[in-house]
Structure 1
Amino acid sequence: MEPMSVHQLVPDADHLRTRFSQAMSDMYKKEVPLYADLLSIVAEVDDKVSREKLPSRHRIERHGAIRLGTAQELRTIARLFALFNMHPVGYYDLSVVGFPLHATAFRPLTSSALANNPFRVFTSLLRLDLLPQSTRILAEKTLSRRNIFSDRLLELLKKAEFHGLLVDDQDELLTEAMKVFRWHSTATVSHETYTEMNAVHPMIADIVSFPSAHINHLTPRTLDIDMVQEIMIRRDMPAKERIEGPPRRNCGVLLRQTSFKALEEQVWFIDSGGNARDDYHTARFGEVEQRGAAVTDKGRELYDSLLAKTNALAKQKKANEEEYQHILRVVFTEYPDTWLELHTQGLVFFEYRLTGKRPSTTEYKDTQKLSDLLEEGIVEYEPIVYEDFLPISAAGIFTSNLRGFSNKEIQNSQGNRLLLEESLGAKIQEPISLYEKMQEESLEECRKGLGLALILVE
């Protein structure tokens, strides 16, 4: 008789996602030693600035980024991520900075899953429709010959989808999955082909020329990105000049990101005669982020308008980096910077919870106003973390790591969400809808806990 564990299904996709993210981090430490140095800096900074115990998710929190070449690759990666309870959220058009890419982020969807481990993978897909015909044909031909997924991984995916993932299959699944994201220093194309694609856009060469969807960065979260940036510079790490996103605030919103610049890595090319030659490829870098609150549509409109105003003033004044940062801080004083103001003006999403305090009056109606419950201290709130990305900030980091390379013709094109969804074979969820749902569900929990028929939100 076989032991029971052979037939036991994996009960917890959240636990498996944590194992997946840790395996990814362990692999990337070996491949990019500067990433390990960055983790050390982040831990040092967070220990300095944290005044209370951090949520369990914080120390393990990461986001990764990969680039894929075909719709088939995207659909298969979606199947893999689904086993880890990670689903496509948000459409990101990277043509705005001249990149022939669009993207979505695979991540958990619910408050409980995010609290366990919010691992995200920003997943870009090459837009063949934006490439010159000769480059498109070359890319299609090259990509048609590769398979970034092992036969055993595909077997395990099929088995998991039809019968559920067995506990005894976990280790093998993770081992096979890591092969998808591993770096390879030998290209699958000739140096001539690589050079041709690189001249059109380095992203094309990076996606098409290698046998895997290598991670191009893995990003920890910090409590103080400004301090991390200062230490990176002090320790002679090749830090990016600008922290992308909003300025430093008392009440952080959205996302702030910085990075150390991409490594020049030696790559070998084998020609048709079996002769080898080397060159250097620039793709992988180290990023760090500080996450703020998720903003409502109203909050996002205000953010976008202030960022546009900042950029217009900086352009008008031909501002250098120091002047740009000053303009950014001054302009963003228009964005409220207390949680009370942000809540009152409906600029940020919040989760509500009961404090344990009971109403002071004996006349407790079936319907209560949220404002009254908050004023009496019966209900309290905290901001919902922004779990997604900012295309302009991501593009700013990507561009800095390509030495400013951008293709103006691509930049004049438009995003195509329908095309990405067709490639994916599924609808992409809207971040705003997910935050709204989290806020509504927390309010519903308060209603049930208080035994009310309704909580009125004015």
Structure 2
Amino acid sequence: MSNQNVVSPDLIRQRFSRAMSDMYREEVPLYGALMELVASTNARVLASDPAMASQLRATGEIQRLDLERHGAIRVGTAEELATLCRLFAVMGMEPVGYYDLTPAGVPVHSTAFRAVHEASLQVSPFRVFTSLLRLELIDNPELRAFAESVLAKRSIFTAKALELIAHAEHNGGLDEQQAEIFVEQALETFRWHHSATVTAAQYRQLSAQHRLIADVVAFKGPHINHLTPRTLDIDIVQASMPGHGITPKAVIEGPPRRQCPILLRQTSFKALDEAIAFTDQQQATGSHSARFGEIEQRGAALTPQGRALYDRLLNAARDELEDFPSEANAARYDSLMTQHFQEFPDAYADMREQGLAYFRYFVSDKGLAAERDALTGMTLAGLLNAGYVRAEPLVYEDFLPVSAAGIFQSNLGDAAQTRYDAHSNRQAFEAALGRSTIDELALYAQTQQRSIDECGRVLNLQGLVC
């Protein structure tokens, strides 16, 4: 295949993201209502905050805002995970980060498939948080063997999707027609199925062990369980959801409200109770709840130092709460989070100077107009102070284990709030994946350094460092 005929993986990802959104809107009508609420909220925020609107335009974030989505799926076997890795690679998505959710009582470990370069993220920031069920955590040997046998019988990919994945791997990509078919075929893996692959009694056994285990094992495939648009003000959305017929979870996951958002804040509506038919039933008389709607607000990506401070403050608030955040203690939890996070600087300049967050650097209009000889010997800090260069916070593109577990738990019910004694097993996850996961902090550092190098090139200053 001529490389001229190959469709960019970024464009395939963009098309797949839109197709996924259209499918999920049809399957879960409340998702459509959520999208409308987020769009109106974003328009309201941009109209009322010209400085934010200007910042988003300057960094290109405003162009990707309406495209912003993340989805989440759960698979049951190493083979399924490895093939998903290959499928996402066709769309330019790589496994970034390792997340162990077992300490919060969720028997999975996960990664996030996404684009890794800032230019690709501008085309499509679509991400899929992908979890692998840890079957070894099923303490009943007979039930564990049954789950393994059920999963071994299913094939979650169409034959055509597998064929096109192999073709892309051997030929350097897909042409226009192949890309179109690939999107259609790949979508089938994520589609909802109203028929279970087990009897009602078997489903109850799996669900009694953990509702997430039933969700992964009892169906033909890993239906997408939520899609998430990005809002510019999650507190407005949270307060507005009931007025739109949507019941939000009690607590917004992640950091408290701030002038300068950091990392990731998430909320969701409760999982839908959907009719399903078990293998020993003629009609859909059973029910299953797994799919829900979620909203996120993304802030600045934090450095290792910033992340350590965030984790310390989060843990302090949760330790003082002495319970899982819920509707009963939501107000106290919010108060504790606000109290403890007063220690975290709430100005981007302070975060940058203290090395708490990653930034992207741009030559300003003043810098473009400056005489190059006048800039000789200036440091990055000097250029910033003189207004020749400006700094904008890098958007956090990834996830938070505690927040992910909180979203999962709120949609699995209180009975699922248990703990597993098993230790994190990144090595086993990466063996199943077929490759190593990527360190997300290294990606932010690389993006930051590329922006500094570009400033140096434009201003004819070599060796600029942060």
TM-score in terms of structure 1 length: 0.94
1:133-186 CA-to-partner distances (Å, cap 9, x unmatched) read: 222211110011000111111111111211231211122111111110000010
Matched, 1:28 2:24: yes
Within a 5 Å distance, the mapping from 1:336-347 to structure 2 comes to 336-347=345-356
Deviation at 1:332, TM superposition (A): 0.9
Shift of 1:10: 2.5
Residue 44 of structure 1 deviates from its aligned partner by 0.7
Aligned to 1:9: 5
Counterpart AA for 2:425 = N
Whether contact under 8 Å (1:187, 1:210) holds in the other structure is: yes
1:360 Cα deviation after fit: 7.0
The equivalent residue for 1:403 is: 413
Query: What is the letter of the counterpart of residue 424 of structure 1?
Result: L
Q: Does 1:233 align with 2:242?
A: yes
- Mapping of 1:246-261 within 5 angstroms? 246-261=255-270
Superposition map of 1:184-263 within 5 A: 184-263=193-272
5 Å-filtered alignment, 1:31-430, equals 31-50=27-46, 51=50, 52=53, 55-132=62-139, 133-163=141-171, 164-271=173-280, 275=282, 278-315=285-322, 320-358=329-367, 364=374, 367-406=377-416, 408=418, 410=420, 412-430=421-439
CA contact (8 A) 1:293 1:383 kept: yes
Q: Contact (CA 8 Å) 1:265, 1:280: kept in 2 or not?
A: yes
Report the CA distance between 1:7 and its aligned residue. 9.4
Q: CA deviation at 1:353?
A: 1.0
CA distance, structure 1, for counterparts of residue 329 and residue 450 of structure 2: 46
Q: Are the equivalent residues in 2 in contact too, given 1:366–1:454 (CA < 8 A)?
A: no
Q: Which stretches of structure 1, 4 residues or more, deviate above 4 A after TM superposition?
A: 5-8, 274-277, 358-366
| TM superposition score normalised by structure 2 | 0.92
Deviation at 1:404, TM superposition (A): 1.9
User: What one-letter code is carried by the residue in structure 2 that aligns with 1:320?
Assistant: N
1:65–1:122 contact (8 Å) kept in structure 2: yes
Q: Is the 8 A contact 1:270 1:277 kept in 2?
A: no
Structure 2: runs of 5 or more not aligned: none
Counting helix residues as a fraction of each chain, which structure ranks higher? 2
Q: CA deviation at 1:8?
A: 5.9
**How far has the Cα of 1:361 moved from its partner?**
8.2
Contact 1:39 1:220 in 2 (8 A): yes
Query: Take 2:278 and 2:156, find their aligned partners in 1: how far apart are those partners?
Result: 19
CA distance in 1, matches of 2:409, 2:372: 62
Deviations 1:40-97 (A, max 9, x none): 0001101111133562110110000000011111111111111111000000001011
The residue type paired with residue 94 of structure 2 is H
Verify the 8 A CA contact 1:64 1:121 in the aligned structure 2.
Answer: yes
Following the alignment from structure 1 to structure 2, what is the Cα–Cα distance between the partners of residues 442 and 80?
A: 31
SS in 1 for 2:227: strand
Contact (CA 8 Å) 1:259, 1:286: kept in 2 or not? yes
Contact 2:189 2:222 in 1 (8 A): yes
Q: CA RMSD in A?
A: 2.0
- Count the aligned residue pairs: 449
- In structure 2, how many angstroms separate the alpha carbons of the residues matched to 1:407 and 1:303? 24
Q: Which moved more, 1:171-180 or 1:128-137?
A: 128-137
Q: Aligned partners of 2:334 and 2:259: how far apart in 1?
A: 17
Matching residue of 1:443: 452
Secondary structure in structure 2 of the residue aligned to 1:253? coil
Amino acid corresponding to residue 350 of structure 1 in structure 2 = F
How much does 1:376 deviate? 1.0
Is the CA contact (8 Å cut-off) linking 2:211 and 2:416 kept in structure 1? Answer: no
Partner deviation per Cα, 1:399-436 (whole Å, 9 max, x = no partner):
011112336352x2211100110000101001100000
- Give the partner amino acid of 2:149: K
Residue by residue over 1:369-404, the C-alpha shift from the partner in whole angstroms, topping out at 9 and shown as x without a partner, is 111111111111100000000110111111011112
Instruction: Give the whole-Å Cα distance in 2 for the aligned partners of 1:281 and 1:149.
Output: 23
Give SS of 2:414's match. Answer: coil
Q: Is the 8 A contact 2:194 2:284 kept in 1?
A: no
Bigger mean CA deviation after superposition, 354-363 or 439-448? 354-363
**Matched letter for residue 253 of structure 1:** I
Aligned partner of residue 342 in structure 2, secondary structure = helix
Q: What is the DSSP-based 3-state SS (H/G/I as helix, E as strand, rest coil) of the residue aligned with 2:464?
A: strand
Unaligned segments of structure 1, at least 5 residues: none
SS of 2:402's partner is helix
Give the drift of 1:203.
0.9
CA displacement, residues 206-257 of structure 1 (integer Å, 9 cap, x when unaligned):
0011111100000000001000011102333121111111111010000000
Q: CA distance change for structure 1 residues 315 and 23 in 2, over 3 Å: closer, same or farther? A: same
